[in-house]
Amino acid sequence: MGDGIFVSFEGGDGAGKSTQVRALADWLAAQGRTVLLTFEPGDSALGKVLRDAVLHGEDVDPRTEALLYATDRAHHVASVVRPALARGEVVITDRYLDSSVAYQGVGRGLGADTIEQLSLWATGGLLPDLTVLLDLDPEAALARITREPDRLERGGDEFHAITRQAFLDRAAGDPQRFLVLDARLPAEDLAAAVATRVGQLLER
């Protein structure tokens, strides 16, 4: 592996991940770093097919759903993420394995440990250097979603509450990797906090 840095953004729908991903990419570019922006599920040709199957298909049972996300992640890491890290780039992904642990492991009740192991197997054990969790009260999150909700977003309040807690529990279990931010803060404040933490990684 080269000197690349791997950053993931996590959080419920509507937490402002895409805004923060872009802000960090701009900040890094201004530092002269080469950045690769990516996302899960679906940032490859095969990924698009898998994304469509998992988000818009009907009657996807929980184990199938978990395997589809894991398949997408395996392919994404092998074909997009690892090559960029090997080139020394900063890879920023909108969602990664913590989403699977929260949604499939806890939300769908398949077990956090099982789903974590599945993703670690799929990726050959690749964990981010930093995971930014944009934590947002589920009601505020729903209010922010203006487009038509996808199949997971239609899961309801209880699903949102338990998956939010799952992300928070995961962050509490690995404070070295996670930066937890209150997503209701102004976007500039969030971006500054993320840049400070990434700056520390760049100096390492």
Cβ at position 31, least distance to ligand TYD in Å: 26
In the chain, the amino acid numbered 122 is A
Over the window 151 to 190, marking each residue x when it contacts ligand TYD by CB under 6 A and - when it does not, the resulting string is: -xx-------------------------------------
What's the rounded Cα separation, in Å, for the pair 127 and 136?
23
Which residue in the set 22, 78, 150, 185 belongs to the binding site for ligand TYD (CB under 6 A)?
Answer: 150
Q: Closer to ligand TYD by CB, 40 or 89: give it.
A: 40
**Cβ distance 141 to 15 under 8 Å?**
yes
DSSP 180: E
Q: Closer to ligand TYD by CB, 94 or 135: give it.
A: 94
- Cα distances from 34 to residues 1, 7, 28, 67, in angstroms, run 16, 13, 8, 32
| Footprint of ligand TYD on 87-106 (CB under 6 A) | 94-95, 99-100, 103-104
Cβ at position 77, least distance to ligand TYD in Å: 12
Q: In what order do the strands lie in the sheet with 35-39?
A: 35-39, 90-94, 5-10, 130-135, 178-182
135 sits near ligand TYD (criterion: CB under 6 A): no
Q: Closer to ligand TYD by CB, 18 or 196: give it.
A: 18
Q: Closer to ligand TYD by CB, 22 or 33: give it.
A: 22
| Footprint of ligand TYD on 47-76 (CB under 6 A) | 69
Cβ at position 187, least distance to ligand TYD in Å: 16
**Cβ distance 94 to 61 under 8 Å?**
no
Binding residues with ligand TYD: total (CB under 6 A): 14
Closest by alpha carbon to 95, among 72, 114, 118? 72
What's the rounded Cα separation, in Å, for the pair 66 and 39?
17
Q: Closer to ligand TYD by CB, 19 or 33: give it.
A: 19
- Cα distances from 19 to residues 15, 16, 23, 150, in angstroms, run 9, 5, 6, 20
| Binding residues vs ligand TYD (CB under 6 A) | 13, 17, 40-41, 69, 94-95, 99-100, 103-104, 150, 152-153
